[in-house]
Amino acid sequence: MRTVAGCMDLEELRAFIAVVEAGSYLGAARALGTSRTTLRRQVAALEARAGVPLLESARSGVAPTEAGQVIARRGRGMMQEAAALLASIREVGDAPSGTLRIVLPVGLPPHVLTPLFAAVRRAYPRLHVHCRFSNDPLGEALTDIDIAVHFGEDAPGGHWISHVVLRVREWLVAARAYLDERGTPGTIEDLKHHELFAWQAPGEDARVWRTWRGASFTVEPTLIATDIHFIRHCCISGLGIGLVPDALLPDPGLGPDALVPVLPDVVGQERPVRLSVPAMLSEIPKIKMVVERVRASLGQIE
């Protein structure tokens, strides 16, 4: 199978990427179930097309040259795009099936995710979902993602199709018992006398908090964590005041006043929740249908 331009053979590219990832011809041959002779011939043919060396000897085998690194990086995307094209053709007219790989930010409340999963399962019973959680969903390997859920006002750069599916309020919350014991802050200055917990958003400084007017100020949190749910439960337990995104849904088994807002008209900001799909996968029917289902379900929460 060749690219449209006819300048690169995908089997040669597949062989080259396997050698790069294994670090040797022997390891790649075992992974692909082929011979080293075949792999050497395919890599040599690819180097002839490129006109420059793509591999060089290393202590334990081989490593990509600078040109080889470029081809390996871009080639992985081409291989995924080819697989996605074939998958989209096979799935035309069929109900979604197979495995959908979703990466989510660490710490999303289970009581928000559970009804979404239930809605997808009801609609598409032949579809299996593989979820994993990441501190930085967009930083995961593109080849391992069908859908990424993340926070962000701006659409991610690069090869993504992105939708804002929900807007959540990020604000300060605390348990009533904590505030009764320590006092309720009336100003930003009062926060210095409290136990402060901060959510670590990807690429941001968790010590810098914002006001609704767009200003910023610096705090010294006693706890910084990437897990929103962990911080929220620390607050529920009366340990301090936390700045976290909040979908404004009650926690299971707790009353609506388990957490109360602190300085709600002063400290906070709006956080858009985005659902992003690698552009090369955006036309696959099962992904399009699941994206629309999730958008519709989240729209009912707003």
| pLDDT tens digits along 119-136 | 888 888 888 899 999 988
Q: Which fold has domain 99-160+275-299?
A: D-Maltodextrin-Binding Protein; domain 2 (3.40.190)
Contacts (Cβ under 8 Å, ≥6 apart) of 154: none
In this prediction, residue 180 carries a pLDDT of 95
Query: Would you state the pLDDT for residue 2?
Result: 40
Q: What is the pLDDT of residues 218-256, one digit of tens each?
A: 999 999 999 999 999 999 999 999 999 987 676 777 776
Per-residue model confidence (pLDDT) at position 90: 56
Give the DSSP letter string of 226-257: S-HHHHHHHHHTTS-EEEEEE---PPTTS-TT
Mean pLDDT of the chain: 85
Helix (H) or strand (E) holding 61: strand 61-64
Q: Domain map of the chain by residue range?
A: 10-91, 99-160+275-299, 168-271
pLDDT at res. 135: 86
Q: Are strands 147-151 and 98-105 parallel, antiparallel or unpaired?
A: parallel
CATH of domain 168-271: 3.40.190.10
Q: Do domains 99-160+275-299 and 168-271 have the same CATH topology?
A: yes
Q: Low-confidence residues of the chain, pLDDT below 50?
A: 1-6
Residue among 279, 270, 277, 280 nearest 292 (CA): 277
Tell me whether strands 260-262 and 160-174 are parallel, antiparallel or unpaired: antiparallel
Q: Report the top-level CATH class of 10-91.
A: mainly alpha
Query: How many angstroms separate the CA atoms of 294 and 163, rounded?
Result: 11
pLDDT of 217 reads 97
% residues pLDDT > 90 (the chain):
43
